[in-house]
Amino acid sequence: MRVLIFFFLALNAHYFSEQEDVKKLDELIQNWHKAASDAKFDSYFNCLTDDFIFLGTAPGERWTKKEFQEFSKPFFDRGKAWDFKASNRIWNFSKDGKTAWFDEDLATWMQGCRGSGVCIKTKGLWTISYYNLTVLIENEKIKKFIELRKN
């Protein structure tokens, strides 16, 4: 019976710890998106790891943190970078609880997009290590899209 109680308590502790991390991670990503919308350059980039990678929607858009800062700075300096409204975010965790990855639906000026990313927990603090932004295209429209890309 004691083993069963210990197992139940351990399972609950893991569940509540993960739920607390989900709250922290959701807040991190929401604040990150908001920092872009509010053109807060330092707030936006301070929550990224030094080896952060951003994949954009255009071919060739694979930015290191430094490259992405250089590319983004003029947008932030104008007072508004981009405005992504996220929904349907889903989190997954590594067994050790120090890596989390997610996907989210995004409302943007490009219509429906999806973002996916990886966050790392170091010394109890979550940071964003990787983000991939994609434009969604319905399967039945892909042939027209391929033709557009050829032009």
Domains of the chain by start residue, with CATH: 2-150 (3.10.450.50)
What is the per-residue pLDDT for 8? 46
> Residues of the chain with pLDDT > 70: what percent?
89
State pLDDT tens for residues 22-31.
Answer: 999 999 999 9
User: Does residue 34 register a pLDDT over 70?
Assistant: yes
Under the banding of pLDDT at 50, 70 and 90, the label for residue 11 is very low
Residue 85 Cα distances to 16, 88, 107, 125, angstroms: 27, 11, 5, 24
What 3 state SS string does 80-137 have? Answer: CCCCCEEEEEEEEECCCCCEEEEEEEEEECCEEEEEEEEEEEECCEEEEEEEEEEECC
Burial of 37-55, coded b for 16+ CB within 10 Å and e otherwise, reads ebbebeebbebbeeebbbb
Burial category of 15 from C-beta neighbours within 10 Å (exposed 0-12, middle 13-18, buried 19 and up):
exposed
State pLDDT tens for residues 66-116.
Answer: 999 999 999 999 998 999 999 999 999 999 999 999 999 999 999 889 999
Give pTM, 2 decimals: 0.85
